[in-house]
Amino acid sequence: MIAAVAVVVFAIGGGNAKATQSQATASSAISIRSTSLGKTLVDANGRTLYLFEGDRANISTLSSAGAAVWPRFVSSGPVKAGNGVQAGLIGTTTSPTGVKQVTYQGHPLYYYVGDSSPGSTRGQGLNEFGALWYVLGPSGNAITSAPSTSAAAPAAPAPAPAGGYGY
């Protein structure tokens, strides 16, 4: 799986974590979006934001290899609070590479390269680069649950008739 993620990273970011980081600077706002995990934090384009449990309060501990898969949410200016977002919980910290990374309730924020569309939460609960990754709720706490399903599970196929091959 890590090899597949690496291929995606190199295909999207050209193998350069800095290129991926520059894409993460495009939206300097935090909003709330309803997802299969409940209400979660997203950027102005609806991209899901994550926390890394390996971080400490206002300190990113993610390696540069990790940042290639989990780009930092960075901003060159003030970050706006959308509806439902507590402006007082938004802050910044300086990452190990010297960029201004956005925080929420002291959690440095990241994207996941495997999220293919706004509201996607494919990074939820992954254990990568030494710790777990979770989306955040409006309170700034990690949402640790698995996605809920909105559709019923498909019915099991009917058993084959006795003595036959089922066709």
- Judge whether 112 lies within some domain: yes
- Judge whether 45 lies within some domain: yes
- Judge whether 85 lies within some domain: yes
- Judge whether 146 lies within some domain: no
Checking if the pLDDT of 52 tops 70, the result is: yes
- For the chain, the straight-line distance linking the first and the last C-alpha, in angstroms and rounded, comes to 37
Confidence band of 113 (pLDDT split at 50, 70, 90): very high
Predicted local confidence at residue 24, as pLDDT: 47
Domain count, the chain: 1
Checking if the pLDDT of 149 tops 60, the result is: no
Predicted local confidence at residue 148, as pLDDT: 66
d(CA 129, CA 108): 15
d(CA 81, CA 44): 10
d(CA 81, CA 61): 25
Predicted local confidence at residue 97, as pLDDT: 83
Residue 90 dihedral angles phi and psi, to the nearest 5°:
-85, 135
Q: What does the pLDDT average to over 19-25?
A: 41
Instruction: Give the range of the structural domain holding residue 110, as residue numbers without chain letter.
Output: 2-141
More confident residue, 41 or 15: 41
d(CA 9, CA 66): 11
More confident residue, 145 or 23: 145
Q: Is the pTM of this model over 0.85?
A: no
- Judge whether 88 lies within some domain: yes
- Judge whether 151 lies within some domain: no
Instruction: Return mean pLDDT, the chain.
Output: 80
- 70 secondary structure, DSSP code: S
- Judge whether 22 lies within some domain: yes
- Judge whether 158 lies within some domain: no
Q: What does the pLDDT average to over 113-132?
A: 96
Checking if the pLDDT of 96 tops 60, the result is: yes
Residues 6 or more apart whose CB falls under 8 angstroms from that of 29 comprise: 43, 44, 79, 80, 81, 82
Buried b (16+ CB within 10 A) or exposed e, 107-135: bbbbbbbbbeeeebbebbbbebbebbbbb
